[in-house]
């Protein structure tokens, strides 16, 4: 699993913007056929929804699933995501990319 976090120091100037973080997912064809990719996306979306409170306001998190995610259980994906988020929390850089779990 590869995660990228952009945590802007300044708030968006758009008056309609909310202070909640955004999360996006990249699950390429290398992960498997469409049914498998959709399953991985659903599991990651559910896991990320439970963890959005850990992200900074206006933060943007991108989670890229590697091919091993196709065979990973829900619990394994949860552990990997938690591990990535813990490593991101110790970084002071406002724009961080982290690759974990290859």
In a domain, residue 76? The reply is yes
Domain count, the chain: 1
> DSSP letters of 3-29?
EEEE--SSPP--TT--SS-EEEEEE-G
In a domain, residue 5? The reply is no
In a domain, residue 62? The reply is yes
Total residues found in the chain within this entry: 102
What residues make up the domain containing 40?
30-90
53-66 pLDDT, tens digit per residue, is: 888 888 899 999 99
Asked if 22 and 56 touch (Cβ cutoff 8 Å), the reply is no
In a domain, residue 4? The reply is no
In a domain, residue 49? The reply is yes
42-91 pLDDT, tens digit per residue, is: 999 999 999 988 888 888 999 999 999 999 999 999 999 999 988 887 55
Asked if 37 and 69 touch (Cβ cutoff 8 Å), the reply is no
Q: Note the pLDDT of residue 12.
A: 52
Q: Note the pLDDT of residue 81.
A: 93
């Amino acid at each position: 699993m590869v995660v990228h976090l952009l945590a802007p120091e300044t708030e968006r100037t758009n008056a309609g913007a909310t202070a909640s973080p955004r999360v996006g997912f990249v699950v390429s064809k290398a992960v498997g056929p469409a049914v498998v990719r959709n399953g991985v996306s659903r599991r990651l979306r559910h896991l990320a929804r439970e963890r959005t409170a850990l992200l900074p306001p206006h933060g943007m998190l991108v989670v890229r699933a590697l091919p091993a995610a196709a065979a990973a259980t829900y619990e394994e994906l949860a552990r990997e995501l938690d591990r990535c988020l813990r490593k991101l929390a110790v970084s002071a850089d406002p724009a961080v990319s982290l690759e974990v779990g290859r």
